[in-house]
């Protein structure tokens, strides 16, 4: 792509982010780009832009040889894939923010980029304004990356902040996140941890060269959070955060999951509030580094999309170097997690699933335990899918060692915790 040429953009979507891009591009003449056409779904909606700009016909953008770049910002992952696939096949570079579509179609998208020799950028798809993907691609382009642990969903972080710090109800907080344009059109994606899992799927490709499917990753959202859990957090001066994590274990395999976690005051994640996101990246030489910024909302997201458009003007591409390394990383479920589990009745949870139980508390309304559980056991436990049971990671939750715990030791630990 030539640097002095005015880039012609075909934009799909004119919602929270799409309209943001339209506004920001008008205020960024240095970018040398203009929006030629905008494709939307509902022709009858009033728009804050000239009517002649809009169409509902994909082909007006996808088959226009004058359009260099397709910017895909719609809220329908299935349609988004159709649009992006056609655009790439038509040799147009694409910018997208659609993490669901990207996570669900990574292998095909990689192939399409290679076959058509075009660029596909999606910085806005993970952590909004935080330049996490380009950092993982360029700066952490070596084998020293140990872990990524972050808050990658703005809506759930906003909801948790409003409930815990400001006393709003879950429903009030969710409604506010929707009004502010943070939540997905289907907010279940946010609160059930699926959006964070889609983002983790993308991060795994850029951090470790691992291509996996989101449904393969252990995940849970914030819908089960109980007042007992937040009270426990308050007593210990913890914050409850929905975290996405990937850790290279000593056997070279990677533990990856999305789960709520109790975060200690010493952690950088503790002070990440509202729609902000934060990611701690740990590498062997640099130790811990922290990236922080707004993870959702019109302008923070637009900032990442604009950065991608600008990157296209100098022919930037993700090289996916880690995918082509000789040494391949893979996901493992062979490790243990330290968890807090709260429930209404013992009939809901199988105590024998735990390797150890270090604490058990019973009140009239709710019971909770602190225990160590193998990830395979947790994944397959029927109570893990029970809406009445809340599971929250304790700080420093990963235990790697294949602790050989005999059933009698297990029994002693249960007895010591006061569970018969």
Ligand X SMILES: NC(=O)C1=CN([C@@H]2O[C@H](COP(=O)(O)OP(=O)(O)OC[C@H]3O[C@@H](n4cnc5c(N)ncnc54)[C@H](OP(=O)(O)O)[C@@H]3O)[C@@H](O)[C@H]2O)C=CC1
Residues that bind ligand LTNE7NMQ (CB under 6 A): 128, 153-155, 182-184, 190, 195, 295-296
Contact partners, residue 163, CB within 8 Å, separation at least 6: 169, 170, 173, 225, 230
Q: Considering only residues 15, 320, 353, 375, which one is a binding residue for ligand X as defined by CB under 6 A?
A: 15
207 touches which of ligand X, ligand LTNE7NMQ, none (CB within 5 to 8 A by kind)?
Answer: none
- 96 bridge partner residues: 72
Work out whether 74 is an interface residue with ligand X (CB under 6 A). Answer: yes
The helix or strand, by DSSP H or E, that contains position 414, with its residue range, turns out to be helix 407-416
Binding-residue total with ligand X (CB under 6 A): 29
199 is catalytic: yes
Q: In the structure encoding, which two tokens stand for residue 168, read together?
A: 């709003």
With beta carbons less than 8 A apart as the criterion, state whether 24 and 31 touch. Answer: no
Measured from the CB of residue 105, what is the shortest distance to ligand LTNE7NMQ in angstroms? 17
Contact region for ligand X (CB under 6 A) — 67-75, 228-236, 350-358, 376-384?
67-75
Nearest to ligand LTNE7NMQ of 303, 342 (CB atom): 303
Q: How far is the CB of 300 from ligand LTNE7NMQ (least distance, A)?
A: 9
Planar angle of CA 398, 404, 410, nearest 5 degrees: 90
Q: Which one of ligand X, ligand LTNE7NMQ, none is in contact with 17 (Cβ closer than 5 to 8 A by kind)? A: ligand X
Distances (CA, A) of 70 to 90, 101, 122, 134: 11, 15, 12, 20
In angstroms, what is the minimal distance from the CB of 168 to ligand X?
20
Q: Which is nearer to ligand X, 86 or 333 (CB)?
A: 86
- Would you say 22 or 384 has its CB closer to ligand X? 22
Cβ burial of 303 (10 Å; 0-12, 13-18, 19+) is buried
Which of 40, 315, 287 has the alpha carbon at shortest distance from 147? Answer: 287
Rg (CA), the chain: 23
Using CB under 6 A as the binding rule, whether residue 17 contacts ligand X is answered as yes
Q: Per rule CB under 6 A, is residue 88 in the interface with ligand X?
A: no
Strands 239-248, 254-263: parallel, antiparallel or unpaired by DSSP? antiparallel
DSSP E strand boundaries for 73-136: 93-96, 120-121
Closest separation between CB of residue 86 and ligand X, Å?
A: 12
- Among residues 99, 100, 162, 199, the one annotated as catalytic is 199
User: Which DSSP state fits 242?
Assistant: E
User: Is residue 16 near ligand X by the rule CB under 6 A?
Assistant: yes
Using the rule CB under 6 A, is 128 a contact of ligand X?
yes
Element (H, E) at 378: helix 375-380
* SS3 (DSSP) at 353: helix
Q: Which does residue 190 touch among ligand LTNE7NMQ, ligand X, none (CB within 5 to 8 A, set by kind)?
A: ligand LTNE7NMQ
Residue numbers at the binding site for ligand X (CB under 6 A): 12-18, 39-42, 45, 73-76, 79, 97-99, 124, 128, 181-182, 184-185, 296-297, 301
Active site positions, annotated: 199
């Amino acid at each position: 792509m030539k640097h002095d040429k005015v880039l012609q953009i075909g934009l799909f979507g004119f919602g929270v982010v799409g309209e943001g891009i339209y506004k920001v591009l008008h205020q960024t003449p240095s970018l040398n780009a203009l929006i030629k056409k905008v494709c939307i779904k509902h022709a009858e909606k009033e728009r804050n832009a000239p009517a002649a700009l809009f169409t509902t016909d994909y082909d007006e953008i996808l088959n226009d040889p004058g359009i260099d770049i397709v910017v895909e910002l719609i809220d329908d992952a299935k349609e988004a894939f159709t649009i992006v696939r056609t655009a790439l096949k038509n040799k147009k570079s694409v910018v997208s923010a659609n993490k669901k579509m990207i996570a669900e179609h990574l292998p095909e998208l990689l192939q399409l980029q290679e076959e058509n020799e075009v660029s596909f950028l999606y910085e806005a798809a993970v952590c909004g304004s935080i330049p996490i993907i380009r950092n993982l691609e360029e700066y952490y382009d070596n084998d020293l990356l140990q872990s990524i642990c972050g808050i990658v969903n703005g809506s759930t972080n906003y909801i948790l902040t409003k409930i815990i710090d400001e006393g709003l109800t879950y429903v009030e907080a969710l409604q506010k996140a929707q009004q502010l344009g943070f939540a997905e059109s289907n907010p279940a994606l946010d609160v059930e941890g699926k959006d964070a899992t889609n983002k983790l799927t993308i991060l795994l490709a850029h951090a470790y060269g691992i291509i996996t499917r989101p449904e393969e990753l252990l995940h849970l959202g914030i819908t089960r959070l109980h007042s007992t859990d937040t009270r426990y957090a308050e007593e210990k001066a913890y914050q409850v955060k929905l975290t996405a994590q990937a850790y290279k274990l000593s056997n070279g395999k990677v533990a990856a999951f999305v789960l709520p976690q109790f975060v200690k005051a010493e952690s950088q994640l503790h002070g990440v509030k509202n729609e902000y996101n934060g990611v701690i990246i740990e590498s062997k030489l640099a130790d811990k580094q922290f990236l922080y910024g707004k993870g959702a909302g019109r302008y923070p997201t637009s900032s990442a999309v604009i950065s991608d458009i600008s990157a296209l003007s100098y022919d930037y591409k993700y090289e996916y170097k880690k995918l082509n390394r000789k040494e391949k990383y893979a996901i493992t479920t062979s490790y243990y997690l330290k968890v807090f589990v709260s429930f209404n009745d013992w009939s809901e949870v199988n105590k024998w699933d735990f390797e150890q139980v270090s604490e058990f508390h019973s009140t009239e309304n709710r019971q909770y335990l602190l225990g160590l559980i193998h990830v395979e056991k947790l994944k397959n436990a029927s109570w893990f899918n029970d809406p009445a049971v809340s599971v929250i990671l304790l700080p420093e939750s990963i235990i790697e060692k294949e602790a050989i715990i005999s059933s009698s030791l297990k029994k002693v630990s249960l007895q010591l915790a006061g569970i018969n």
